[in-house]
Amino acid sequence: MPFLKRSPTSQPRSKLLDAMSQKCGLRSTVFSGNGDEYKGEWQNNNKHGKGTQIWKKSGTMYIGEWAFGKPDGYGTLSVLVPETKQYATKYCGGWENGKKHGFGMHFYEGSAVYEGEWSEDHRSGCGKMWYDNGDLYEGEWMKDKNHGQGTILFANGNRFEGTWQDDKKNGDGKFYYPDKGQVYEGLWLDGMAKCGTMSDFGRNEAPAPTQHPIPQLQLVDMQLVLSEAKSAYIERINSKFPLHDTGKE
């Protein structure tokens, strides 16, 4: 009776089972050992395409696009509200490599909302922020702070238009007081007005104008005086906080 050898091309059962377990394409719900669950598309054993992930411990759910195991593309992140047992949207918009990136809207605790550009999970670029107290900021951002050109409209009707740095008014700007019919224009440093002019603006329409209008300055060149004052102030600041240390000879 002849002896039949096993075909050299056959693989061990363990390798066959491993190959069968590799996830690729559309799969039904896959549960992890910690209770997390994912339903959607796969590629080379990574979440890739469109899918839904639910994290059991945090009660967070993501529905959207994936790339190589991370949210990437457009997607919505929601959290489970214990009182209602319903999911509430926290963020909807662009993602890249698992982080908020591109244009998106984020809903904070209370009524605060941000709509605009993101970069690596930070508000960066142009965007609007509605605050709980009724204020509205619209302008440029950098790493979650007002930075660049922007306008803030306060709940009481006042507004500031100008330059920001690290969440504070810095540089040239105008502060409008519609209730008094006045506007301040000048230089700001770390949120404080340092050098500028106050003038009447829409005084006739103001509900509570100042008792006396601001008199006109009788100067030969008002802008020259203001420019010299600003230059002197900036020079004093630079001498107090020099940008470069020259050292000692």
What are the percentages of helix, strand and coil residues in the chain, rounded to 5? 10, 50, 35
pLDDT digits (tens, 9 = 90+) for 175-210: 999 888 899 999 999 999 988 888 887 777 777 776
Q: Which of 7-11, 67-71, 83-87, 228-232 has the highest mean pLDDT?
A: 67-71
pTM: 0.75
- Structure confidence at residue 10 (pLDDT): 63
Q: Give yes or no for a contact between 47 and 38, defined as CB atoms under 8 angstroms apart.
A: yes
Q: Which domains does the chain have, with CATH numbers?
A: 24-107 (2.20.110), 156-241 (no CATH)
pLDDT digits (tens, 9 = 90+) for 68-81: 999 999 999 999 99
DSSP letter for 213, please.
P
Q: Give yes or no for a contact between 51 and 39, defined as CB atoms under 8 angstroms apart.
A: yes
C-alpha 196/C-alpha 213 separation (Å) is: 17
